[in-house]
Amino acid sequence: MKVSLNWLNDYVDIGEVSPAELAEKITRSGIEVDAVDDRSEGLKNIVVGYVLECSKHPQADKLNVCRVDVGEEAPVQIICGAPNVAAGQHVVVARPGARLPGGIKIKKAKLRGEESHGMICSLQELGFDGKVVPKAYADGIYVLPESAEPGSDALAILGLDDTVLELDLTPNRADALSMLGVAYEAGAILSQEVKLPDTSHGETGDPASGMLNLRIDAPEANPLYGAKVVRNVKVGESPDWLKARLMAAGVRPLNNIVDVTNYVLIEYGQPLHAFDYDRLGTGEIVVRHAGEGETIVTLDGAERKLQPHHLLITNGREPVAIAGVMGGANSEVHDGTTSVVIEAAWFDPASVRRTSRELGLRSDASTRFEKGVDPNRVLAAGERAAALMEELAGGEVMAGTVLFDELDKEPVRVTVSPDFINERLGMKIPFEDMEKILGRLQFPYEAVNGLFVIDAPTRRGDIAIPEDIVEEIARLYGYDEIPKTLPVAESIPGGLNPYQAKRRVVRRFLEGAGLYQAITYSLTSEKEAQKFALDTAPVTKLLMPMSEERSTLRQSLLPHLLEAATYNTARQAGSVALYETGSVFLAEGADGLPVEVEHAAAVITGDWSGSEWQGSKRPVDFYAVKGIVEGMLDLLGLTGRLSFRKGEMAGLHPGRTADVLLDGERVGIIGQLHPSEQKARDLKDTVVMELNLEEVLRKENEPLLYRPVPKFPSVSRDVALVVTKPTESGTLESAIRSSAGNLLKEVRVFDVYEGDKMEEGMKSIAFSLTYQDPEHTLTDEEVTEVHHRVIEALEAEGAKVRS
Amino acid sequence: MEQQLNQLKEEALGAIRSADSVRSLNDIRVKYLGKKGPITDLLKGMGKLPAEERPKMGALVNEVRGKVTEVLEARMAVLEEEAVSRKLEAEAIDVTLPGTPAGTGNHHPLTRIVEEIEDFFISMGYEVAEGPEVEKDYYNFEALNLPKGHPARDMQDSFYITEDVLLRTHTSPVQARTMEAKEGQPFRIICPGKVYRRDNDDATHSHQFTQIEGLVVGENIRMSDLKGTLDRFAKKMFGEEREIRLRPSYFPFTEPSVEMDISCFKCGGEGCNVCKGTGWIEILGAGMVHPNVLRMGGYDPDVMSGFAFGMGPERIAMLKYGIDDIRHFYTDDVRFIAQFHRAEG
Ligand SMILES: [Zn+2]
């Protein structure tokens, strides 16, 4: 909402308060002022000129040589390129030394050999937005009324001696979508009365109802409809003050009739519509819902297909307007209009909102109707428009209003105690101060038994409950006055729950291991959504995606992490290591929502660990990532319950992929990217993992208890085995563990060899076994006995002990 | 014999002086003091001397041996030290070469901000509450005093999955869910999480972003409590010298509603490019929980009251670290993330 302070001053005395100060006060007490636009800023030495003569420039077709009276003894010569310049016009002249917006300085100049003492200005050159400039002057200079005195300051005539405040309104403050609403707000802030506009006008002897019939077929959607008829209007240009105010408010002037409806809309916040009575054709207005397949061509020339719940204004035969949204082209006021019907109505906000949204058609009218207009201001706005049409278009207002009125206009009664207000705020505002604030707000109230009984004015549709009064009192008393305290209550222990605490442990571990945390988008394309998913589930799709790329919820974190890896490798040398924790979204659960599971995933590509100059840098391999998974689960106390088996997944190397099992259940996957996948993504060798983090973190581990540090030494025995190549070390390790019994403390693979010194199809794996007894020092015989059992078990698995 | 001894002594001492390595010195030791050396021979030959000369000669031999040993040990110490020095010198490394890298990953700046906020509120007795990112319309809107048809819940702004299910547009549904779960008991929660809105991604908009909200419900929770809490939070997050101010605002789920500004941490309130010349920076929205929200959560607004606040970690990170484009948070460029590894203070 753009608020011209000159205009606002009609209703409330701003007095000596500077625009900046007023803006600050308004912002601090409720409505954010986005900008304070001093419209005269940068404008200097701009006067009224009268074009005495105008002839073609001898050297240039498109230029005119004008002799202009600028209020001095002798006229001055000004070269003007505007197509619409002509002798006899009053124009805006920027004299030499003048300044225009954007820091432009006007100097004496020679244009193709002819001297020019200044510039005749268009409105755009004076800083007006092209969108608000009247169409007649859109491509040329602006022409002032004949009353303008040559040599006088042109800024006042153009309304540029003004400051405009731009208000950023929250949805609850629709009351401030009007000059009067802003006046009440400013009045409350400055403790000033509000003067209402003059709505008085003359009336003809004939009643309006003699010319117009009214029928409302949809009283729920349109409980109030008032129509005034104004005869014998002369359609023409509006006076400068009116045009200037509309332009200041961001509205393009059109003609005096339409300008009046727009002016009153801004003044009262009540949208009005003017129909050409003769074009209406039937002397009748019927408000009804649209029929199946009905259409209307709106003022903007577009044909709109209507639905049966859209409310229409009709002439009894065909639609002439979409109620509260936009008028129809067929009944539009035009230059030849002589009689006008002014519509002042109240339409159901939800209905207007729905219609406007469905038709993709927003207007100044719909914006206000859908937030609810003041029921008690509807008819006053109609009278105001009639008065202005009488004054500005020479119209005769027919007696009375053709009216349908079933609208509840009663104010909402709110009862609230001063104690409640102070308790909620944690303040001690005196009763008298609260009374003063209610007075400033012009909220009628009574103090009954120490309670405020307030009749909230209908212009403030946002006031309905005691808490609303708390806010009104607080904002005008000043939020700076609220003390700073802390909640007085039994203190509740805060903190992370075990799940959240363990999640932090996991993140810190992954970062400590050298991975950077990524955060990627949850939405992806349908094609990518199921890639690398641990479990297959139906996808969750948006009803109306903004693009195919972001249409479906992901089921794996890996596709976007891999994208991030490619992005990074394309921009820097070396390796990338990223991880992410985040939700994946699987098939619909019992409660109608998708099953949302938190996963952790990692991508490592290129080199991993080591030092380049020491020659120890190595490309990432499966085991690097497996080590990370093992380390992470060890940190969560789950080592003993973790196992791995050969796995498979589309997009991963078939020989280098493992399922991660926890308590025998698959909770994740580790694998090298399939070579074709690597190539497609422009990546070097890349290893990924993804875990169902939720499953992992939900596992309770053993309580952390001290175990005595061994008092007796341990004994190590190594065993090197020759086995067939496909034999998994895990199988051998299981054989060792199950045969060794309690004395075995640790098994470790310390060497694997598959080179040419081995027999074809064979490999060597060497284990180091550690034996220990907590009660005594083991004897050689005891160890040998156990170790023999182990070797027998290994041989039973087909392993040969290497000498 | 005495003369022989002295000559032997001079010879040995000369050899020791000219010895230039531990090894040659050891040879000298063996040669002069060893079991087959001349001094041992002299001692063995003592028996041939007359008995009265023996003590004198014995003392003399011991003296010579003692002297030679002493000088030899001293020389040995010097040579050993020299040997160690030479070895150390040979072992010297280029200490300016880079160290072997330790793990170098770090958290995302948004996690850093979120955890910092979580930890502050945990210290004030808050629990961390989380909820689903795909929500029911009821929890995302209705339970928060945003009934169907409310102007503040425009269909255009949300990603719907069905008519009743959508990607949550804020973390506020966690508030509604927590009230249900707490069944009328007082509580304090902080709720971080991802949220989604129908925005085209540009320098200041992202269709996916992060929010963190707080909610305190109890008996006689006052607006002054909200102000005091936010004041401490602002000082913790942006520096002890920060001031806060509250401005009236509007949120459907709070009444009264406010926005909180902090005094600019760059210029201290003088006005600069960060605060756009105002001296104040908008940080978060807050307010007293709307009685309808309390009621729908199963709390009697005549008995209980509460305050809530919410903010965007992206905005806070952008302000705190001077980040100019919200898309950086979701591009996952390591050159960006890696900048947020170190401790502050
Ligand atoms: Zn600043």
Single-letter amino acid code for the residue at A509: F
Q: Given an 8 Å threshold on Cβ–Cβ distance, is B247 in contact with A28?
A: yes
A665 lies in some domain: yes
pLDDT confidence tier of residue B156, bands split at 50, 70 and 90: low
ipTM: 0.88
Minimum-distance CB partner of A550 among B99, B152, B207: B207
What distance in Å separates residue A695's CA from the closest CA in chain B?
A: 16
The domain in which residue A436 lies consists of 415-457+464-480
Name chain B contacts of A425, Cβ cutoff 8 Å.
Answer: 222-224
Q: Which two tokens stand for residue A751?
A: 């060497």
How much is the average pLDDT of A425-445?
A: 96
By the 8 A CB rule, do A132 and A251 touch? yes
Neighbouring C-alpha atoms within 13 Å toward the C-beta of A436: 12
Q: Given an 8 Å threshold on Cβ–Cβ distance, is B227 in contact with A483?
A: yes
Query: What pLDDT does B7 receive?
Result: 87
State what percent of residues in chain B have pLDDT above 70.
99
- Partner residues linked to A66 by β-bridges: A54, A78
pLDDT confidence tier of residue A517, bands split at 50, 70 and 90: very high
Q: According to the 3-state scheme, what is the secondary structure of B249-300? A: EEECCEEEEEEEEEECCCCCCCCCCCCCCCCEEEEEEEEEECHHHHHHCCCC
Q: Given an 8 Å threshold on Cβ–Cβ distance, is A613 in contact with B97?
A: yes
Indicate which CATH number applies to the domain containing A440. 3.30.56.10
By the 8 A CB rule, do A194 and A184 touch? yes
Please count the residue pairs, one from chain A and one from chain B, whose beta carbons lie less than 8 angstroms apart: 251
What distance in Å separates residue B85's CA from the closest CA in chain A?
A: 26
Residues A289, A323: one domain?
yes
How much is the average pLDDT of B123-127?
A: 94
Mutation pick from A29, A352, A484, A523 vs chain B, by most beta carbons of B within 10 Å, is A484
A67 C-beta neighbours (distance < 10 Å), count: 16
Q: Does residue B105 belong to the interface with chain A, where contact is any CB pair within 8 Å?
A: yes
Q: Annotated binding site of A, which residues?
A: 462, 468, 471-472
Query: What pLDDT does A723 receive?
Result: 94
- The string of pLDDT tens digits covering residues A30-75 is 899 999 999 888 888 889 999 888 888 888 888 888 898 988 888 9
pLDDT over threshold 70, residue A581: yes
A621 lies in some domain: yes
What distance in Å separates residue B77's CA from the closest CA in chain A?
A: 37
pLDDT over threshold 90, residue A443: yes
Residues A32, A61: one domain?
no
How much is the average pLDDT of A657-670?
A: 96
Token pair 């399922």: residue: A659
Q: Which residues of A88-111 are buried (b: 16+ CB within 10 A; e: fewer)?
A: ebbbbbbbeebbbeeeeebeeeeb
Name chain B contacts of A172, Cβ cutoff 8 Å.
Answer: 250
CA of B278 to the centre of ligand 1 (A): 7
Closest among A229, A253, A251, A223 to A239, alpha carbons compared: A253
Q: Annotated binding site of A for Mg(2+), which residues?
A: 462, 468, 471-472
Minimum-distance CB partner of B159 among A500, A542, A614: A542
By the 8 A CB rule, do A239 and A376 touch? no
Token pair 């045009």: residue: A243
Query: What pLDDT does B155 receive?
Result: 53
CA of B281 to the centre of ligand 1 (A): 8
Strands (E), A606-714: 607-608, 618-619, 642-646, 652-662, 665-673, 686-691
Domain count, chain A: 6
Question: Which 3 state secondary structure label does DSSP give A468?
Answer: helix
Residues A303, A377: one domain?
yes
CA–CA gap between residue A760 and residue A762 (Å, rounded):
6
Question: Checking DSSP bridges between strand A284-289 and strand A213-216, what pairing results, if any?
Answer: parallel
Asked which of A698, A727, A762 is the last residue of a domain, the reply is A698
Residues A611, A757: one domain?
no
Name chain A contacts of B207, Cβ cutoff 8 Å.
Answer: 521, 523, 546, 550
Residues A122, A61: one domain?
yes
How much is the average pLDDT of B240-252?
A: 93
- The string of pLDDT tens digits covering residues A197-256 is 999 999 988 999 999 999 999 999 999 999 999 999 999 999 999 999 999 999 999 999
CA–CA gap between residue A239 and residue B244 (Å, rounded):
48
Single-letter amino acid code for the residue at A465: I
Question: Which CATH superfamily groups domain B109-340?
Answer: Bira Bifunctional Protein; Domain 2 (3.30.930.10)
Name chain B contacts of A487, Cβ cutoff 8 Å.
Answer: 188, 216, 218, 221-222, 225, 229
Minimum-distance CB partner of B250 among A171, A483, A487: A171
Residues A297, A356: one domain?
yes
A254 lies in some domain: yes
Q: Given an 8 Å threshold on Cβ–Cβ distance, is A610 in contact with B165?
A: no
Q: Given an 8 Å threshold on Cβ–Cβ distance, is A483 in contact with B228?
A: yes
B194 C-beta neighbours (distance < 10 Å), count: 18
Mutation pick from B250, B257, B263, B282 vs chain A, by most beta carbons of A within 10 Å, is B250
A473 C-beta neighbours (distance < 10 Å), count: 24
Residues A30, A67: one domain?
no
What does the DSSP assignment read for B127-194? EE----SEEEHHHHTGGGT--TT-TTS-GGGS-BSSSSEEE-SSSHHHHHHHHHHHTT--EEEEEEEE
Mutation pick from B222, B261, B288 vs chain A, by most beta carbons of A within 10 Å, is B222
Q: Does residue B321 belong to the interface with chain A, where contact is any CB pair within 8 Å?
A: no
Q: Given an 8 Å threshold on Cβ–Cβ distance, is B115 in contact with A504?
A: yes
- The string of pLDDT tens digits covering residues A271-294 is 999 999 999 999 999 999 999 999
- The string of pLDDT tens digits covering residues A309-360 is 999 999 999 999 999 999 999 999 999 999 999 999 999 999 999 999 899 9
Residues A659, A684: one domain?
yes
- The string of pLDDT tens digits covering residues A237-246 is 999 999 999 9
Classify residue A40 by its DSSP letter.
Answer: T
**pLDDT averaged over every residue in chain A:** 92
Name chain A contacts of B128, Cβ cutoff 8 Å.
Answer: 495-497, 500
A152 lies in some domain: yes
Q: Does residue B94 belong to the interface with chain A, where contact is any CB pair within 8 Å?
A: no
Name chain B contacts of A516, Cβ cutoff 8 Å.
Answer: 105-106, 108, 332, 334, 337-338
Query: What pLDDT does A617 receive?
Result: 83
Asked which of A405, A430, A445 is the last residue of a domain, the reply is A405
Mutation pick from A167, A542, A599 vs chain B, by most beta carbons of B within 10 Å, is A542
Residues A437, A540: one domain?
no
Query: What pLDDT does A167 receive?
Result: 95
Name chain A contacts of B105, Cβ cutoff 8 Å.
Answer: 510-517, 577, 579
CA–CA gap between residue B250 and residue B275 (Å, rounded):
22
How much is the average pLDDT of A717-735?
A: 93
Task: Provide the H-helix boundaries in A139-178.
Answer: none
A706 lies in some domain: no
Query: What pLDDT does B4 receive?
Result: 80
pLDDT confidence tier of residue A493, bands split at 50, 70 and 90: confident
Residues A594, A557: one domain?
yes
Indicate which CATH number applies to the domain containing A146. 2.40.50.140
How far apart, in Å, are the Cα atoms of B276 and each of A28, A634, B261, B266?
17, 51, 13, 11
Closest among A475, A268, A233, A492 to A369, alpha carbons compared: A268
Q: Which two tokens stand for residue B120?
A: 């502050």
What distance in Å separates residue A170's CA from the closest CA in chain B?
A: 6
Question: Which 3 state secondary structure label does DSSP give A707?
Answer: coil
Minimum-distance CB partner of B187 among A350, A480, A492: A492
Residues A440, A516: one domain?
no
Query: What pLDDT does A110 receive?
Result: 84
Q: Please check if B255 is assigned to a binding site.
A: yes
Q: Given an 8 Å threshold on Cβ–Cβ distance, is B165 in contact with A517?
A: no
Residues A655, A521: one domain?
yes
Name chain B contacts of A550, Cβ cutoff 8 Å.
Answer: 207
pLDDT over threshold 80, residue B46: no
A341 lies in some domain: yes
Name chain A contacts of B132, Cβ cutoff 8 Å.
Answer: 593, 596
pLDDT confidence tier of residue A573, bands split at 50, 70 and 90: low
